[in-house]
Structure 1
Amino acid sequence: MYRFLLTPRWWGINVFVLLAIPFCVFMGSWQLGRFEDRVQDHRDAGEQASAAKTQAARPLAELLPVDKKTSGDQATATGRYGKQLLVPDRELDDERGFYVLTMLRTDGGKALPVVRGWLPGTADTAKAPAAPSGEVTVTGALQASETPGSNGVPAAGGLPAGQTGAISSASLVNLVPYEMYDAWITLADADPGMKAVPAAAPSDTGLDLKAFQNLGYTGEWFVFAGFVVFMWFRLLRREVESARDAELGITQDTPAEAVKAPSAS
């Protein structure tokens, strides 16, 4: 009855099943591993942020370029404040406001964007305190350049003069007359009259949509593996029933009720 398993058709079906199931299990396990990696990155980022608050500040040059390990570390830089810009539509403690961003021109000739603090309400240059004059040394959390449209950074353009939507060298290159560092810092202690802006976790280290997509893909691959097994058993059962019917002389055109048992001789 099971001789049909040796036919070329069933050889093809069996080979497909034997290849598809391990592949689905492998892909599901890989997606699960990606999700677990993101969970671990999320934990590491939280621990790193807590540790960074108690770390001694290091010179900016020692922490560049910014990566997942150095993002959030306390950095220190010395220079003179230059051009000041406002960063609108930023929330702090569930309240809408804006950042006061001032360029710190260092001895190396480059300018470092420094978020000196946050103020509530609509961005207005009249509200923003002027930057201290003379040489200053600043200390704050090092941050990677922002990407418009991600992590709450507005992607809208057409802002008034003196404002920028994102804090990044690419966004600032046409707004300030200096060469920029591909990084910025947020002061640990905001200047008088403003609130300090907490450091943000580095990108791709949180339980974001991508992480839960990995978890969803994990379930899909395991469901596919189960579906392949289900369909194989279904095809096998149908083939066995067809073989049994053929032995009884039942065809698609002959109802089972019409087949009479052979008379005893």
Structure 2
Amino acid sequence: MSRGSSLRSTALSSRGIVALVAALAAATACVFLGIWQWDRTEDILAAERAAASDPVPLTQLVNDDGTWDNQNIGRPVILDGAFTNDEVLIPNREFEGQRGTWTVTRFALDDGRSIAVTRGFLSDGVVSPPILTSPTQVEGLLHPNEEFYEGANQAGSIVTVDATSLGVEWGTPLIPGYVMMQELDPTLLAADAPAPVILPPTVQVGDVPFPLQNFVYAWQWWVFGAFAIAVYAWWLWREARPRIPVSS
């Protein structure tokens, strides 16, 4: 039997088909894992570029359907409007070794839409100071919703900054995500009120190294995928070799 016929016969055998399916499954999984790591690299680079950008009005980033693109995570934004009396304290937070809460307040934009704003951190036992609802301008960083297990937020017990849950709590639809305030007009608080501590951003901002790890992982998965095909080809070639009888 010729080498070509032997290869074809081995490939079409039950063992050959099983080996091919296994190799293709492994290669496909590696390709998709590589794409996922590559997308992670792109997302990190996009967040770095967004964080280094000049502040822009939030309304310029929000699409017609009320959403905004992931490439704007960490983007400095400007809010024009006013704080409202809708407020929630997010428990079980820590800042510089102290336990406390995040003060999250609904901010009504001039165009009629609303978004949640984290005004800062308060230590346990400190009462959140009321904030004036007069027109103002706020600068902060745009964040996606916090993710936790499904059902974590219940009516009257909000534990994550999630626009959907907060919108239900306040009875007002919110723009997805939230803005982490970086500066507050002190005139919006009473003179003797304990202002919440401005929180550091929870997304990476400024100059950071190229995400080499994700980049390398992407190529690593693709190499693994190619290796799976190479192993199958080697196995097929080895199985198709003519058997030399062993002399007794």
TM-score interval for Structure 1 and Structure 2 normalised by the shorter chain: 0.5 to 0.7
Distance 1:4 1:59 in 2: 69
TM-score, normalised by the number of residues in structure 2: 0.68
Q: Deviations over 1:76-111 (max 9, x none)?
A: 221242111111233445654321011123344433
Give the drift of 1:231.
1.6
2:168 aligned partner = 174
- Stretches of structure 2 that go unaligned for 5 or more consecutive residues are 187-193, 205-209
CA contact (8 A) 2:27 2:228 kept: no
2:190 aligned partner = none
Aligned-residue RMSD, C-alpha: 4.0
SS at structure 1 position matched to 2:197: coil
- In the alignment, which of 69, 72, 81 is matched to residue 71 of structure 2? 69
Q: Deviations over 1:140-170 (max 9, x none)?
A: 1122333334xxxx963458x3x41222331
1:146 aligned partner = 146
Task: Decide whether aligned partners of structure 1 residues 91 and 177 sit closer, same or farther in structure 2, where only a CA change above 3 A counts.
Answer: same
- In the alignment, which of 118, 126, 143 is matched to residue 115 of structure 1? 118
TM-score, normalised by the number of residues in structure 1: 0.64
1:102 aligned partner = 105
Identity of aligned residues (%): 17
* Aligned residue pair count: 223
Give the drift of 1:75.
2.0
SS at structure 2 position matched to 1:164: coil
Distance 1:108 1:144 in 2: 21
Distance 1:211 1:46 in 2: 15
- Stretches of structure 1 that go unaligned for 5 or more consecutive residues are 251-255, 258-265
Q: Which has the larger radius of gyration?
A: 1
SS at structure 2 position matched to 1:174: helix
Distance 1:219 1:120 in 2: 50
The residue type equivalent to 1:232 in the other structure is: L
CA contact (8 A) 2:11 2:236 kept: no
Distance 2:181 2:135 in 1: 16
Return 105-114 or 95-104, whichever deviates more.
105-114
